[in-house]
Amino acid sequence: MLDKLNEIEKAALDSLQSVNDQAALEAWRVANTGRSSPLMLVFAELGKLSKEERPVIGQAANRVKVALEAALTERAEAVKNAALAKSLEEEHLDVTLPGRTRHIGRLHPSTQQLRRVLSILAEMGFQVYTSREVETDEINFQLLNFPPHHPAREMQDSFYVEAGDRGDNPILMRTHTSPGQIRAMREFAAMNPENPPAIRIALPGMCFRYEQITARSEIQFNQVEGLAVGENITFADLKGTLIEFAHRMFGQRARTRFRASYFPFTEPSAEMDVECFVCGGKGCQVCKNSGWLEILGCGMVHPVVLQNGGYDPKRYSGFAWGMGPERQLMLRYKIEDIRYFWGNDVRFLEQF
């Protein structure tokens, strides 16, 4: 019997050497110390032994039981440590890896510039009026005094929107923000047709032209239109307003000049230049050595346009202008290719 116990112990301890995980530990425990293990069978048979043998074998069996349990505990500890060491090794964190930067969104540079322009104009009393991007030929051109075959129409090739046969009044994407002048004047005039109220508004928004996309021309761009209509408004008001705007936008010392120009919807018409802020007027690549940068078109609202808007040109007068925020940004930051604006390259966009 004692030999048998020694064998049981030796076999159990031997097999414990190859136990390497939690499942094998449990299987070993059941096989070697469980209810139907060889060791437990020895206990079960103690009753059949003689009085003399019983305590000797009993003690020996108990010693084996204690030894096996101790061996199991020790092995369990070793298995646990091995598992921990393995997971530390495998799940090892490389704290020297550089972190991932978080990309924080920002407003598009055009939006930022639009907001700068509009906030200056707001301080000067111009309220924002948003007009539609899809227009009729009548409002985009005809009511702005572009007759049907006027050559100035060719300055603005258009995207037409399929809308059945509308004859001389097709639907198109607005080519400039000026049609908003007609919509605004008509809306204000309708409030009081006998005595239409004075108007002082800024009309921002996207414009579209059917053009070859190049570094200098895009098929879409923003404009900010300005319109002031009232009694006794003169060209001096136009100049005072736009010079003040230029000072607030480009600095109090920015010099400006007006040059005569032509637009069908204004008479007289002009273009305003600011002294080149890149070279200070000395002449450089940005201003093409002229020392001046053209920043907007303007003029006194043509009597026909006032009439079309519901404002009697004998009583009312007004001035208007149109300028491009993308153009201002290109000049300010020497951006040489207009395609960057809608190219969606974050390397460009995140610089603003």
What are the residues binding ligand DAH (CB under 6 A)? 176, 178, 225, 263, 266, 297-299, 320-322
Query: Cβ 263 to ligand DAH, closest distance in Å?
Result: 4
Query: Cβ 270 to ligand DAH, closest distance in Å?
Result: 8
Query: In this complex, which beta carbon is closest to ligand DAH, that of residue 32 or of residue 269?
Result: 269
Query: In this complex, which beta carbon is closest to ligand DAH, that of residue 37 or of residue 328?
Result: 328
Query: In this complex, which beta carbon is closest to ligand DAH, that of residue 109 or of residue 180?
Result: 180
Query: Cβ 191 to ligand DAH, closest distance in Å?
Result: 22
DSSP 76-136: HHHHHHHHHHHHHHHT---TTSPPPPPPPP---HHHHHHHHHHHHHHHTTPEE----SEEE
Query: In this complex, which beta carbon is closest to ligand DAH, that of residue 178 or of residue 308?
Result: 178
* 100: number of Cβ within 10 Å: 6
Query: Cβ 167 to ligand DAH, closest distance in Å?
Result: 24
Please state, in angstroms and rounded to a whole number, the distance separating the CA atoms of residues 118 and 226.
10
Handedness of CA 261, 264, 268, 272 (dihedral sign): negative
Query: Cβ 299 to ligand DAH, closest distance in Å?
Result: 4
Query: Cβ 207 to ligand DAH, closest distance in Å?
Result: 7
Query: Cβ 152 to ligand DAH, closest distance in Å?
Result: 10
Query: In this complex, which beta carbon is closest to ligand DAH, that of residue 38 or of residue 268?
Result: 268
Query: In this complex, which beta carbon is closest to ligand DAH, that of residue 263 or of residue 341?
Result: 263
Q: For residue 7, which of 42, 58, 52 has the smallest C-alpha distance?
A: 42
Closest chain position to ligand DAH (CB)? 322
Structure tokens at 35: 């209810």
Query: Cβ 269 to ligand DAH, closest distance in Å?
Result: 6
DSSP 157: -
166: β partners: none
Which residues touch 301 (CB under 8 Å, ≥6 apart)? 181, 227, 229, 265, 266, 317, 318, 319, 320
Query: Cβ 274 to ligand DAH, closest distance in Å?
Result: 16
DSSP 281-323: TS--TTTTTSSEEEEEEEEEEPHHHHHHTT--TTT-EEEEEEE
Contacts from 310-317 at CB under 8 Å and sequence distance 24+?
310/185, 310/186, 310/188, 310/189, 310/190, 310/193, 310/196, 311/185, 311/189, 311/196, 311/229, 315/231, 316/196, 316/229, 316/230, 316/231, 316/233, 317/229, 317/230, 317/231, 317/232, 317/233, 317/234
Query: In this complex, which beta carbon is closest to ligand DAH, that of residue 61 or of residue 202?
Result: 202
Please state, in angstroms and rounded to a whole number, the distance separating the CA atoms of residues 205 and 164.
26
Q: Give the helix/strand (H/E) hosting 269.
A: strand 266-275
Query: In this complex, which beta carbon is closest to ligand DAH, that of residue 104 or of residue 236?
Result: 236
Query: In this complex, which beta carbon is closest to ligand DAH, that of residue 29 or of residue 176?
Result: 176
